[in-house]
Amino acid sequence: GQQVMQIPQYQHVQEGEDFTTYCNSSTTLSNIQWYKQRPGGHPVFLIQLVKSGEVKKQKRLTFQFGEAKKNSSLHITATQTTDVGTYFCEAVTGGGNKLTFGTGTQLKVEL
Amino acid sequence: NAGVTQTPKFQVLKTGQSMTLQCAQDMNHNSMYWYRQDPGMGLRLIYYSASEGTTDKGEVPNGYNVSRLNKREFSLRLESAAPSQTSVYFCATTPLSPLHFGNGTRLTVT
């Protein structure tokens, strides 16, 4: 079955440092979504990537989809305390019928 | 406000007790999902319903049953709760993607 690995599992950074989380699939994906979950909250959709090699930006967040559509990354430039939370990728295959979440990367930002 | 509503928000059960988690959406989406979230394990799919009248097993269906009552409502039932079912449960819906999540139900089984 499809496996989705997300690394790292945890990341502690000082405010102002950069942060990157990676999502790797064993199979080619239709598309991939990224979500953010604040402590005690529910996952909230951030972005969807569909095209091979696609790069999208949201302010300090940069999302990339690999050329082979098997991996993706989320990069945050100059982290702030408001970035604290767990970031999940959601891999979509089978024409949109099969959804698999990565295990998440928990980000802590220290002043 | 449009969205996904889950009840209850918190629940404590004793081993062997039963309960039903309720989920309702007013987004007119066909697909609805139940996930459980455990530390270090991300979100794991329990059951999903692609449309009214259909349900399918996900990754971890054992110990659970579901009912898609109508297009709006998708309930999750624990017939005989076990401590291993202590978790946070999320209901979600989607037109195709992405997923829209409810606020979750935090369940503790003692």
Sequential pLDDT tens for chain B (110 residues)? 569 999 999 999 999 999 999 999 999 999 999 999 998 778 999 999 999 999 999 999 999 999 998 999 999 999 999 999 999 999 999 877 789 999 999 999 99
Q: Which residue of A has its CA nearest to B89?
A: A42
Q: A80: distance to nearest CA of chain B, Å?
A: 23
User: What is the overall mean pLDDT for chain A?
Assistant: 93
Q: A99 vs A74, which has greater pLDDT?
A: A74
Token pair for A5:
């690995």
Q: Tell me the HSE value of B50 on the side-chain side, using a 13 A CA sphere.
A: 8
pLDDT at A55 over 70: yes
CA nearest to A106, candidates A86, A79, A89, A92? A86
Q: Are strands A19-25 and A71-76 parallel, antiparallel or unpaired?
A: antiparallel
Lowest mean pLDDT among A36-45, A94-103, B3-12: A94-103
Q: Per-residue pLDDT averaged across A39-57, rounded?
A: 96
Dihedral over alpha carbons A10, A14, A19, A22 (to 10 degrees): -10
pLDDT at A97 over 70: no
Residues with Cβ within 8 Å of A83's Cβ and at least 6 positions away in sequence, in order, are A19, A76, A107, A109
Inter-residue contact A9 to A62 (CB < 8 Å): no
Token pair for A43:
């996952």
CA A21 to CA A71: how far, in whole Å? 11
CA A95 to CA A92: how far, in whole Å? 8
Q: Per-residue pLDDT averaged across A89-103, rounded?
A: 82
Residues 21-80, chain A, touching B (beta carbon < 8 A): 31, 33, 35, 41-45, 48
Question: What integer pLDDT is reported at residue B32 of this predicted model?
Answer: 94
Contact B42 A101 (CB under 8 A): yes
Q: Which residue of A has its CA nearest to B44?
A: A101
CA nearest to A61, candidates A50, A69, A53, A72? A72
- At A34, the pLDDT band (50, 70, 90 cuts) reads very high
- At A100, the pLDDT band (50, 70, 90 cuts) reads confident
Residues 82-101, chain A, touching B (beta carbon < 8 A): 88, 90, 92, 96-97, 99, 101
